[in-house]
Amino acid sequence: DASLGTPEGEAIVEAFLTEKAIQIGGATTAVARADMGDTDWAVYNMANRLAMTPIQNTAGAVHEIELENFIQDILIVPYDDGRTYALVAVRESGIAVVDITDPAAMQVLHTTPVNYYQDGITFAEGGGDLVTDVIIEGHGFIKSLEADDTNLWIADESYGIHRTALANVISATPALEDDGTLLIDDEVYPLQYSGEPPWGAPADLQLHADGNLYAA
């Protein structure tokens, strides 16, 4: 309430949105905030490098670690083992699990691909003829991640949305399918075809308090 004035010992800082304060990194496509102890951290990427720096008025140290592929999304998960993890969407490489509890000594636990398979697809090829019973399969292009206390939802641009238990991912050894990809508990295939390229791939996920998962 502006009528109450400025709290004692605090100052009002205005945001000048027409001016850039500082730029961190380049080729940055994902950023997240990690609240750990007395310090809040900015977690972001520069292409395939995962970086962390403290959020403060002056520039702080930047800690980095390289991942297998270009980073599309970063999800910070404080887990029930008392540690903090960054789950990172790394395109066809799948999901990287990084222990960021100590920002100066980040550790990649593992990087696990996610497979997809769908049969019975019909589309019109370039000449207009219908092609039926098409099968798509492979390692998915992982675009976005969302989680609650027990589940992880995965936006796969190649297929749709997968769901797996967080415990399948956050462990020294992930739970795997027979082909060595991440164990998936459930999934939905929303892609549509009017021609050969599909449309309707999920680009971003958000889980809301109403219990619904929203996909862009």
* pLDDT tens digit sequence for 180-202: 999 999 999 999 988 888 999 99
Residue-level pLDDT at 30? 96
What is the C-alpha to C-alpha distance for residues 5 and 18, in angstroms, rounded to an integer?
26
Residues 79-97, mean pLDDT to the nearest whole number: 96
- Tell me what the mean pLDDT of segment 119-144 comes to: 93
Segment among 14-18, 19-23, 45-49, 171-175 with least mean pLDDT: 14-18
Asked if 134 and 122 count as a contact pair (C-beta separation under 8 A), the reply is yes
Q: Quick one: how far is CA 83 from the chain centroid?
A: 18
Q: Is the pLDDT of residue 23 over 80?
A: no
More confident residue, 192 or 24: 192
Residue 137: its pLDDT value, please? Answer: 96
The per-residue pLDDT for 3 is: 56
- What b/e sequence results for 150-173 when a residue is b if at least 16 CB atoms lie within 10 Å of its CB, and e otherwise? ebbbbbbbbbbbbbbebebbbeee
Residue 36 clears pLDDT 60, i.e. is over it: yes
Q: pLDDT over 90 for what percent of the chain?
A: 77
